[in-house]
Chain A
């Protein structure tokens, strides 16, 4: 550290002293030192005057400066703006990821209603579940008794092979979210299938439409005010012709 005596010369010339200290410093000087101080002050003023000489910013420099300023508002640093957008993009990505994961979890956890799944899928079990005789008239009566006055007409396949013939197994009713559903069981093409009948504007119909690709629902057909869904694990679309709208 400099002793105070020497440091005061600089502080005095810098004008960094308060009035009281400056007076005390001046009065501490002898005659010779006072002359020197006067000369130092004059020299300092000369240097300051030289540095402070008027300097004009040329018009072309000024115009260049103003026109080269970015179009964006001042104070919006480009890097910061990029960072801002990056953060927003990352935020959006995170949100999308969360929604996607949630959707996938929901999909994984989603269990289709029983009427949309071919379970059981063997003839004997379906026959055992059936509440009607395997007869078109009996099934038609059963449907009508449950509010679905549809006609049952087994389509001719044109062959005598048991593999391609359509066999009616029976029918039974069930309930999904307080809406009545009737399942009609068939054997066709060496495997079982069922037609699910529900009111057009009911929740079972909506479930079949919404989750058409889920469960074993292959397609949904509309017959008047009824929706008929084909539930099978093989292509049995021909069965949709087995139910006809009421005359």
Chain B
């Protein structure tokens, strides 16, 4: 009886200590304030059942996050979507952005862009897949390494890296689009062929 009471107390103490951070993780992942409370409750209840005890192999926070990840995915109606690097490409997604002239322009005027479109950047987070968002939150907020994230999500570290890049690229594209819409950044000029150029080409062929 005493042992059970001690286990209960130990779990609740650790939960209390991590309460706000874990709730933030749920909120950032499901991105819906009306759903977050029930996801948090359900996740904690499941973690309660699966808890390995105060002397388990993994930290309490990691155990909780692993369960909460599954709850969040279920709440969003998604499954893990690992992004594997595409074989045969010689450009990463991020590197590909530099080929777009307005992107480099946006980077050079970043503070101005963020002042005008910071809200759009935040809204763009919602458009990412849950898996990409989870990777970003675990990396940028929790500070976990690829390996740690891969253990929490149960997918290869290379997939975690690819998800982070895909998420990061998605946010940059959204920011660029918002900046162009707001007129802060000029769109890429469209090259319209000169009407005589074709005729001249045709005449030359004759």
Contacts and interface: CB of A to CB of B under 8 A. Distances in A.
B107 A61 contact: no
Main secondary structure of the interface of A (DSSP, over half): helix
Interface in A1-33: 1-3, 6-7, 9-11, 13-14, 16
A232 B6 CA distance: 69
Main secondary structure of the interface of B (DSSP, over half): helix
B199 interface: no
Interface in A180-220: none
B4 A73 contact: yes
B62 interface: no
B129 to A, nearest CB: 15
B114 A10 contact: no
Contacts of A55: 20, 23-24, 27-28
Nearest to A16: B146
Contacts of B12: 66
B48 A62 contact: no
Interface stretch (B73-81, B132-140, B181-189, B190-198): B132-140
Interface residues of A, number: 44
A50 interface: yes
A43 B110 contact: yes
B122 A6 contact: no
Given A2-B85, A51-B137, A51-B140, A74 B49 contact: yes
Contacts of A46: 114, 118, 121
Interface of B: 3-5, 7-8, 11-12, 15, 19-20, 22-24, 27-28, 37, 40-41, 44-45, 48-53, 85, 87, 89-92, 94-95, 98, 104, 107-108, 110, 114, 118, 121-122, 125, 136-137, 139-141, 145-146, 161, 164-165, 168, 171-172, 175
Interface of A: 1-3, 6-7, 9-11, 13-14, 16, 35-36, 39-40, 42-44, 46-48, 50-52, 54-58, 61-62, 64-66, 68-70, 72-78
